């Protein structure tokens, strides 16, 4: 299973760098994560 916290951090970095949407979509797909899973992810406090 993909590390959703890591993927979400990396997507946020891509957004901050104004990466094209296609690049962000490609990155998410390469990590094996669906958009729905990424949107639904809520970090838990340990």
Q: How far apart are CA 17 and CA 1, in angstroms?
A: 27
Specify the pLDDT at position 44: 82
Q: To 10 degrees, the CA torsion angle through 10, 14, 31, 35?
A: 100
Q: What is the pLDDT of residues 1-46, one digit of tens each?
A: 679 999 999 999 999 999 999 999 999 999 999 999 999 998 887 6
Domain boundaries of the chain, sorted by first residue: 4-40
pLDDT on residue 45: 75
pLDDT at 30: 96
Separation of alpha carbons 18 and 21, rounded Å: 9
């Amino acid at each position: 299973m993909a590390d959703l916290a890591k993927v979400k951090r990396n997507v946020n970095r891509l957004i901050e760098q104004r990466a094209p949407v296609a690049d962000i979509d490609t990155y998410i797909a390469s990590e094996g994560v669906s958009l729905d899973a990424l949107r639904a992810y809520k970090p838990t406090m340990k």
